[in-house]
Chain A
Amino acid sequence: MLAIFKREFKAYFTSPLGYVFLAIFYAFSGLLFWIFALDIGSTDISSVFLMMFLVLMIFVPLLTMRLLAEDKKQKTDQLVLTAPVSLLSVVMGKFLAAYLIFAMGVAVMPVYGFVMSSFAEVSWLPILGNTVGMLLLGGIFVSSGLFVSSLTENQMIAAIGSFFINLLIMLIDTLVGAVPSGIIKDILASISVYSRYSEITNGIFSLSSLIFFLSVIFIFLFVTVRVLEKRRWA
């Protein structure tokens, strides 16, 4: 797992991909921070975090599109899958590599807190909570992207596919509003990632949200392992 993790992580910086992703992350978060906090003179940066949902939804697929699709295309999966490592550690290695890049992006968020603290008193707890929330959200996007990447050998399709999955994840919340009350509405409401995330950005950090996010990540990783497993039998 460590070998795969290290290789994938390094690969982000031998190609422009890692730099591009981090640049986009920093640029957009900086822009949003300026618009929603600095420019209007507010120390509440939760709306910055909320808006970042859209940015991440679109750009995390860039990070994950390559992971398994390229292996399949270049036939390097023949090396990885015939090496004495389990499928789970292959998937985890790749997931963690992409996730670490993502986390390097998120690491900029507390910096904005420091920037603000030079202007006014800052309440650190919501910033920290929001950062953790963003890390959890990123876990979902990275794992969903990894999953889509396992389905195809075309990176573009992987990127677009995972963008649509992320879009779907967001639209579930809109559906909740459109569906008349009843059991379907309840189900949709309970699986809405967006409403849970906005809950966190509003400062409500519950254990159930934490478990919810971790379970979604787990499900995507699990399905990814199954896809790799199934490929052997195809």
Chain B
Amino acid sequence: MIEIKNLTKRYGSKTAVSDVSFCARENEILGFLGPNGAGKSTTMNILTGYLSSTEGSAIINGIDILEDPVRAKKLIGYLPEQPPLYLDMTVTEYLKFVYNLKKCKLPQRSHLNEICELVKITEVKNRVIKNLSKGYRQRVGLAQALVGNPPVLILDEPTVGLDPKQIIEIRSLIKKLGKNHTVILSSHILPEVQAVCDKIVIINRGRVVANDTAEKLVHNLSGDHKLVVRAEGNPAEIKKLLSSIPNMDEVRINKENVEPGVSEFFLNAKPGADIRREVSKRLASRSYPLLMMKSSELTLEEIFLKITTGDIHGNIKDDLGGEIMPERSERRKK
């Protein structure tokens, strides 16, 4: 459906995007992830024919955007980073303009009404865009992309500027759209991508650094099976008890007295071994209450930091020299 091959964009001596390749299949939501300035918007601008690439190609439904731009652009709905709104028009006027600009063939009135309902801008339809809040403008921008019902949607940070409730609404809308559209969605908000996307491409400094499904990314990078467990009782005894579990590599007391009488343990099992049931059974057999058990697989957030900063533990120093994820760094020190 969308195929990007060896895309490179240079501005003079500065390379914004370097050798980026990925593809999105039909009815797939692809999350395009990267820190600010990684080249997300540039890639999207190339994909929509706003910019042209220095090298490489972007193919939409078999049509190269450079060779037959008009036909390729017909297939794309694009919401740029800053919604391209004419501030002096009302929402209806604007959408009608977009409708005519895209030479849309669907019945105008019902089609536009449907879109307004979908992105919930019906109540501001007759207001001048200049007077709308950021959230509404963003939604009008999204409405604009949906006009003509294009099979491919390219959304550059679609939830920026929305309040939490709207973010949830827009996300579920995108999920819904993803059932019969191919969607490419850029974001630097990880939970968003994790919640919405089938596939994730992480880009950093103009290069693709990861390209997989969310689960696989999490799984591959976190390596072997690790658990964090909290239980009440004598730490040394619990440690001994858990060490006797088959396939257990290492049991470490992570922290004593997290709560009064409760200790946290760090369990490292052999790769592929699932020790969760055994842990629970053994603790129960000795009446040690099990208070928490979680997989210590890296979250997508940590993976993202790991990939983009090259730091295995995903720690970032903040300006004051403190660390943003103290829990993790503490574990590293031990």
Contacts and interface: CB of A to CB of B under 8 A. Distances in A.
A and B co-occur in one complex = yes
Interface of A: 2-4, 6-7, 10-11, 14-15, 74-86, 232-234
B216 interface: no
B22 interface: no
B49 A82 contact: yes
Contacts of A78: 45, 48, 50, 78, 80, 82, 84
B70 A3 contact: no
Given A78-B80, A81-B50, A82-B48, A3 B97 contact: yes
Chain A interface main SS type: helix
Contacts of A74: 84-87
A85 B78 contact: no
A84 B45 CA distance: 15
A3 B100 contact: yes
B262 interface: no
B76 interface: yes
Contacts of B100: 2-3, 6
B89 interface: yes
B73 interface: yes
Contacts of A11: 86, 88-89
Contact of B101 (A15, A77, A85): A85
Given A3-B101, A82-B50, A232-B52, A75 B73 contact: no
Contacts of B281: none
A79 B103 contact: no
22 contacts: A2-B100, A3-B100, A6-B100, A7-B89, A15-B88, A74-B86, A74-B87, A75-B84, A77-B84, A78-B78, A79-B84, A80-B101, A82-B73, A82-B78, A83-B73, A84-B70, A84-B71, A84-B73, A84-B102, A84-B103, A232-B52, A233-B52
Contact of A232 (B11, B50, B82): B50
A76 B101 CA distance: 13
Contacts of B101: 3-4, 79-80, 83, 85
B144 interface: yes
Contact of B70 (A75, A80, A85): A85
Contacts of A85: 70, 101, 103
B54 to A, nearest CB: 8
Contacts of A82: 48-50, 73, 76, 78
A14 B130 CA distance: 12
Interface string B147-188: 000000000000000000000000000000000000000000
A35 B188 CA distance: 67
Interface in B7-52: 11, 45, 48-52
B221 interface: no
Nearest to A2: B100
Contacts of B49: 81-82, 232
B300 interface: no
Contacts of B219: none
A94 to B, nearest CB: 13
Interface in B59-111: 70-71, 73-74, 76, 78, 80, 82, 84-89, 93, 97-98, 100-103
Contacts of B89: 7, 11, 14
Contacts of A4: 101
Nearest to A14: B88
Contacts of A15: 88
A79 B98 contact: yes
Nearest to B128: A14
A14 to B, nearest CB: 5
A69 to B, nearest CB: 14
Nearest to A83: B101
B30 to A, nearest CB: 18
Contact of A76 (B70, B73, B78, B86): B86
Contacts of B85: 74, 76
Contacts of B87: 74
Nearest to B76: A82
A76 B86 CA distance: 7
A97 to B, nearest CB: 13
A148 to B, nearest CB: 21
Given A7-B97, A78-B80, A233-B52, A84 B74 contact: yes
A33 to B, nearest CB: 34
Given A82-B48, A82-B76, A232-B51, 12 more contacts: A2-B100, A3-B101, A75-B84, A79-B84, A80-B101, A81-B50, A83-B73, A83-B98, A84-B71, A85-B101, A86-B70, A232-B50
A3 to B, nearest CB: 3
Contacts of B48: 78, 82
